[in-house]
């Protein structure tokens, strides 16, 4: 899947300035992550199970 075809969203914790943030897009097989400050950098994909483990770990903090 091309990352330009994805629906990207920012965290609700993003500042009103929109800086220092990542964006994520959820696809059928993966969760894509990109730097919202530098869209010239390629996004990377994480498997949905890996993303769930990561999100669970962060939620415990």
- Domain layout of the chain by residue ranges: 3-59
**Alpha carbons within 13 A on the beta-carbon side of 50:** 9
Residue-wise DSSP of the chain: --GGGS--EE-TT--TT--S-EEEEE-SSEEEEEETT-TTSPPEEEEHHHHHHHHHHHHT-
Whole-model pTM: value is 0.78
* Separation CA 21–CA 13 (nearest Å): 9
Residues 2-59: tens digit of each pLDDT: 777 899 998 777 766 656 688 999 999 999 999 888 889 999 999 999 999 999 998 9
- Rounding to the nearest 10 degrees, give the CA dihedral for residues 24, 27, 29, 30: -10
């Amino acid at each position: 899947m091309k990352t330009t075809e994805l629906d990207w969203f920012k965290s609700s914790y993003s500042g009103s300035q929109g800086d220092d943030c990542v964006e994520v897009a959820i696809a059928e097989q993966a969760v894509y992550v990109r730097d919202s400050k530098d869209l010239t950098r390629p996004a990377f994909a994480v498997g949905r199970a890996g993303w769930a483990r990561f999100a669970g770990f962060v939620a415990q903090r």
